[in-house]
Amino acid sequence: MSRYRGPKLRILRRLGKKVILPGLTTKTSRKEQPPGKSNSSDNKNQKSTEYGIRLAEKQKLKFNYGLTENQLFRYVKEARRRKGVTGLILLQLLEMRLDTLCFTLGFAKSIAQARQLVNHGHITVNKKVIGIPSFQCRLNDVISVKEKSTSKNLVNNNIKVNQRNGIPANLQFDDSKLEATVLDYCDRDDVQLQLKELLVIEYYSRR
């Protein structure tokens, strides 16, 4: 199954008006009803099943990080394989992706834009250009912008526009060099996405 490239606000409306997916978009929809549904009392009174609730949490994770279904399933299997709390490990694996780290550092306004930065060769890891958005960074890796004026100007402009809320404690960032060092794995509180990750693990428990 390919990655979703359709209207982003449609996804937010489908998941609910209170859902915020910072990695997908910062925009909000004026429409409250889910796409394809009328404003009737039957729709308002309809309750979600347990499966529907778990599915919605899985969809939040999938669309926020811009993953395909197969990619997310592989991350879940890898999280299960490692020792520790499976839900937290899953989030840490996703937060250590190169495109996610670029988004967290404010290099792009969304993970999709960060993926484009990586694809176009603007980002380096340990002084080597990496063009793979899903590249799994490790502790002590140094993420920086390519030593080229076009790359630096592009990222600097993005940082000014994006107005970052702050760099998590697991990352050490040097604004003058546009360079960050991965000090540790992120804490649960550092993840911007509001999610019940245990429900995602439960969704995949029968696979």
Are 158 and 164 in contact by the 8 Å Cβ rule? The answer is no
| pLDDT at residue 15 in the model | 73
| pLDDT at residue 35 in the model | 61
How much is the average pLDDT of 18-30? Answer: 69
| pLDDT at residue 206 in the model | 72
Q: Which of 58-62, 174-178, 179-183 has the highest mean pLDDT?
A: 179-183
CATH of 8-92+192-203, one of 2.160.10.10, 3.20.20.70, 1.10.287.1260, 1.10.1050.10: 1.10.1050.10
Percentage of residues in the chain having pLDDT higher than 70: 80
pLDDT in tens, 91-125: 999 999 999 999 999 999 889 999 999 999 999 99
Give the residue extent of every domain in the chain: 8-92+192-203, 97-184
Across the chain, what does the average pLDDT equal?
85
200 pLDDT higher than 90: yes
CA-to-CA distance for 159 and 201, rounded, in angstroms?
34
CA-to-CA distance for 152 and 147, rounded, in angstroms?
7
Are 196 and 57 in contact by the 8 Å Cβ rule? The answer is yes
24 pLDDT higher than 80: no
Task: Report phi then psi at 59, rounded to 5.
Answer: -65, -35
pLDDT in tens, 114-160: 999 999 999 999 999 999 999 999 999 999 999 999 999 999 998 88
46 pLDDT higher than 70: no
How much is the average pLDDT of 36-62? Answer: 74
CATH of 97-184, one of 1.25.40.10, 3.10.290.10, 3.20.20.70, 1.20.1270.360: 3.10.290.10
Task: Report phi then psi at 179, rounded to 5.
Answer: -135, 135
| pLDDT at residue 184 in the model | 95
| pLDDT at residue 32 in the model | 60
Count of CB atoms situated within 10 Å of the CB of 52:
10
- DSSP assignment of 81-130: HSSS-HHHHHHHHHHTBHHHHHHHTTSSSSHHHHHHHHHTT-EEETTEE-
| pLDDT at residue 99 in the model | 95
